[in-house]
């Protein structure tokens, strides 16, 4: 294997991993001898430095990890903060509302209510920490179900999902099992009129 191939293999593995990789695993995966890897890492770091790159490779005990250059930490922090504070789209608010009022629910349930594929929207909500996996349904295929998180409650100023405002045209009550139950106002008034 030529040096350029070795450099490319080590760089690709470290980039794809995103996590620290032990020296022996890096050697096994790349086909590069263990003794040569520190020199290859040094060459890669020199290349990054010469090009004023935003990345570098760090040695962590007996592992190596591709990292961002500390020089750009302020810009990285600003970009990540901007991403976190991006307002939710209408689609995300719809999906979040469906999950909050009906939790735990599967992606299929959200898609049935919305009438459109909601996979990427739910994945985005998970990434933002507003919803999380809450197990699997005991039905064929065992789909993952989702529920809201403490981040959701904090973001919307709630202490529990029981504090969610009622949906227009519905009233809420706590059922025998302690779960929040929503009923149509029309049904409530009809049952009151019958009494």
**Predicted confidence (pLDDT) per residue in 109-126, tens digit:** 999 999 999 889 999 999
Q: What is the rounded CA–CA span in Å between residue 111 and residue 89?
A: 16
Do 170 and 139 share a structural domain? Answer: no
Do 146 and 127 share a structural domain? Answer: yes
Domain final residue, candidates 71, 91, 108:
71
pTM: 0.48
Do 119 and 61 share a structural domain? Answer: no
Reading the block at residue 128, the tokens are 């933002």
Residue 194 scores a pLDDT above 50 = no
Do 54 and 124 share a structural domain? Answer: no
Do 134 and 86 share a structural domain? Answer: yes
Look up the domain containing 55 and give its range: 3-71
Domain final residue, candidates 21, 39, 71:
71
What average pLDDT does this structure show over 87-91? 87
Complete edge-to-edge strand list for the sheet that includes strand 55-60: 21-22, 63-68, 55-60
Q: Quick one: DSSP state of residue 130?
A: S
Alpha helices by DSSP H, 36-184 = 37-50, 73-84, 90-102, 107-114, 119-127, 150-155
Closest by CA to 7, choosing from 31, 46, 43, 59, is 43
Q: Which CATH number fits the domain that encloses residue 118? A: 1.10.10.10
Do 156 and 104 share a structural domain? Answer: yes
Q: What is the pLDDT of residue 130?
A: 92
Q: How many CA within 13 A on the CB side of residue 94?
A: 16
Name the least confident of 15-19, 52-56, 97-101: 15-19
Reading the block at residue 168, the tokens are 């227009």
Do 105 and 150 share a structural domain? Answer: yes
**Count of domains observed in the chain:** 3
User: Which residue has 């197990």 as its token pair?
Assistant: 135
């Amino acid at each position: 294997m030529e040096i350029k191939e070795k450099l490319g293999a080590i760089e690709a593995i470290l980039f794809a991993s995103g996590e620290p990789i032990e020296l022996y695993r890096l050697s096994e995966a790349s086909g590069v001898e263990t003794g040569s890897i520190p020199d290859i890492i040094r060459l890669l770091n020199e290349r990054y430095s010469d090009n004023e790159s935003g990345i570098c490779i760090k040695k962590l005990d007996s592992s190596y990890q591709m990292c961002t250059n500390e020089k750009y930490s302020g810009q990285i922090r600003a970009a990540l903060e901007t991403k976190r504070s991006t307002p939710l789209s209408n689609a995300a608010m719809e999906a979040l509302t469906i999950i909050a009022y009906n939790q735990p629910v599967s992606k299929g349930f959200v898609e049935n209510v919305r009438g459109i594929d909601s996979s990427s929207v739910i994945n985005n909500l998970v990434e933002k920490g507003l919803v999380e996996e809450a197990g699997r349904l005991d039905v064929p295929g065992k789909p993952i179900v989702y529920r809201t998180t403490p981040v959701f409650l904090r973001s919307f100023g709630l202490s529990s999902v029981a504090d969610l405002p009622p949906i227009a045209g519905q009233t809420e009550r706590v059922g025998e099992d302690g779960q929040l139950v929503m009923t149509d106002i029309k049904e409530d008034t009809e049952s009151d009129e019958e009494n």
